[in-house]
Amino acid sequence: MLSRKRRKRGAKVSATYANRAFSEPIPKYEIPNNGIGPDVAYQLIHDEMNLDGNPFLNLASFVTTWMEPQAEKLIMETINKNLVDQEEYPQTGVIQERVVNMLAKLFNAPEKNDYVGTSTIGSSEAIMLGLLAHKWSWRKRREKEGKDTTKPNLVVGADVHVVWEKFAKYFDVELRLVPMEHGRYTMDVEMTKELIDENTICVGAVLGTTFTGQIDPIKEINEMLVDLKSAKGLDIPIHVDAASGGFIVPFLYPNMEWDFRLNQVKSINVSGHKYGLVYPGVGWLIFKDKEFLPEDLIFYVNYLGSEEATYTLNFSRNSAMVIAQYYNMLRLGKSGYKAIMKTCMENAKYVAKEIRKMSVFKLTHEDLKLPVVTFYSIDNEISVYEVSRKLRERDWIVPAYNLPKNAEDMHILRVVVKENFSRDMADMLIGDLKRAVDTIKGECIVRAPQKKKSSQIHNKIC
Ligand SMILES: Cc1ncc(COP(=O)(O)O)c(C=O)c1O
């Protein structure tokens, strides 16, 4: 029997789920008058988050969904440090500089030890900053020559991410798009040349497009620009959007020339939170040389007795993802990144091979360079949107969308293979994809399992 005292104490104890907050409506669009206990608040929100998709089955996103526990520990240790407070957290600034240097060398910048670049919140901020620098340089040059500075333009392929269009709109630059066509979902060099003139601030090229994961002909565009320079004196820089490819190509295809080895490539962005294998919230912008970042865009912060150049759109953010990026650099090294990218590619090629075997689909392109598989339904026999919806019933997130202008009737599905996507998962995905197709084609009858020998069941069970 419980003593009176213990009974009284016991009466006060209530399980988290039996808390009053669970039987009362929670205000959704205004701050409640009174708070609730931390366990209860945690559980309520935690449970609500179960309605989100499962990050491990999210094959839509390029963004990292898994990191090692040691990286997560460092993230929690540094999440309360504001990256911009370099005076208070000088070592964080030092680490950021180390990563900038590591990436500049990875992208084959000319040999030296004080490369110019910055961490950003992602590739979007990095692209905006890179292009802003090119716009500034173009304007300065034109002013010096006494020429008109009111009509800057930017030449890119229709395969660019929406951030390029945002830049053009936000920063008042005309966007000149090199159109796609059926069977070509990257830039065409001749068409690019036709769009360039003296007001072109920069040509943008993508190392791993969002739409199909393909690579623009960067080397060929560079050659065309080098020729243009000697023929017409137009010195047009290239900014390479290596959001996805920047952490893949250097490890898997080190001889592919797309980076600072090319004369006209002056700036590169990469997403740390994509194949840099860091959780969302980190991108990088690297310049080939200090001269390509106009001085009046730089803000100097003094710490540790030396001057630190800062160039960002954003002010406060936590340091955790920069530190996590540094963790990956040390932890994995070049060989570790190479091994992971190789595995991703092998699994992507396996998925592609299995999809190729399915008579209903065709790959958008055969030469897979990045672990991104995009495919469409031959003759639009089945709706890719319906396939995407059916896969979602099994929690797989596989987006369906159509390609930009001139190829807009191409409706495709995209599978982004990341580090956590094993061969086993690939087999499960392919199995579910086949079942989805069968169901959509009406070849599959859904019914409850029967107590019969399997040989007596003629219809496939979904
Ligand atoms: C080619 C490309 N560029 C830029 C971006 C934008 O990157 P972020 O999400 O890091 O801002 C993406 C995102 O998927 C992308 O695929």
Distance 180 CA to ligand 1 centre (A): 19
CATH of domain 4-52: 4.10.280
Residue 8's pLDDT is 54
Nearest to 373 by CA among 388, 358, 354: 354
| Of 63, 123, 215, best ligand 1 pocket probe by most atoms within 8 Å of the beta carbon | 123
406 — alpha (psi -120 to 50), left (phi > 0) or beta?
left
Distance 163 CA to ligand 1 centre (A): 8
Distance 359 CA to ligand 1 centre (A): 32
Distance 268 CA to ligand 1 centre (A): 13
Check whether domain 342-440 has CATH 3.90.1150.160, yes or no: yes
Nearest to 389 by CA among 377, 381, 397: 397
Q: Which atom of ligand 1 is nearest to the CA of 62?
A: 14
Q: Which atom of ligand 1 is nearest to the CA of 122?
A: 10
CATH of domain 72-329: 3.40.640.10
Give CA–CA dist 398/388, Å, rounded: 6
Q: Which atom of ligand 1 is nearest to the CA of 274?
A: 10
Residue 454's pLDDT is 45
| Of 61, 120, 121, 124, best ligand 1 pocket probe by most atoms within 8 Å of the beta carbon | 124
Residue ranges per structural domain of the chain: 4-52, 72-329, 342-440
CA distances (Å), 341 to each of 55, 275, 277, 344, in order? 19, 8, 10, 5
Distance 125 CA to ligand 1 centre (A): 10
Nearest to 311 by CA among 288, 289, 294: 294
Distance 179 CA to ligand 1 centre (A): 20
Residue 455's pLDDT is 44
Distance 248 CA to ligand 1 centre (A): 15
CA distances (Å), 6 to each of 3, 9, 11, 14, in order? 5, 5, 8, 14
**Residue with CA closest to ligand 1 atom 7:** 123
Write out the DSSP string of 431-461.
HHHHHHHHHHTT--------SS-GGG--SPP
Nearest to 310 by CA among 320, 322, 302: 302
Nearest to 138 by CA among 187, 189, 190, 203: 203
Residues with CB under 6 A from ligand 1: 62, 122-124, 161, 163, 206, 209-210, 241, 243-244, 271, 283
Give CA–CA dist 374/433, Å, rounded: 14
Residue 114's pLDDT is 75
177 has which bridge partners? 156
Average pLDDT, 10 consecutive residues per value, the chain (462 residues): 51 75 89 93 95 95 97 98 88 94 96 87 98 97 96 97 97 97 96 98 98 98 97 96 98 98 98 98 96 88 61 91 98 98 98 96 97 96 96 97 94 97 98 96 62 44 38
